[in-house]
Amino acid sequence: MKQIFALVALLVLSVALTTSASLVVAQSSAPRTESQPHMTAALDHLQRAQKELEEGSHDKGGHRVKALSLVKQAMSEVQQGIQYDDTHQEK
């Protein structure tokens, strides 16, 4: 009876250790993304600016259209910056 208990205990311990080791490996290999409050805030402001420009009157001599294009370009750059930081961890 003691041998069966010892074998069951050993089996449970080995399963627990294997599961723990698998979790550690999974966590260490997953890309770590950090909070980027300034980039996120900038993206939010740009999205609001885009909405305002889209709703603005069209009689601005092409400047509203150009500003809208530049805002979209800025949004793309911010998103690329966030993605770059998420994939290039140097910490």
Give tens-digit pLDDT for 19-36. 554 554 455 555 566 789
Q: Are residues 87 and 57 in the same domain?
A: yes
> Which tokens go with 32?
């770590």
Say yes or no: 10 and 26 in one domain: yes
Domain carrying residue 13: 1-30
Amino acid (1-letter code) at residue 46 = L
Give me the residues of the chain with pLDDT under 70, please.
Answer: 1-33, 90-91
40 and 82 inside one domain: yes
Q: State whether 43 and 56 are in the same domain.
A: yes
pLDDT, residue 75, reads 98
| Distance separating alpha carbons of residues 11 and 67, to the nearest angstrom | 66
Please state whether the predicted TM-score (pTM) of the whole model is above 0.95: no
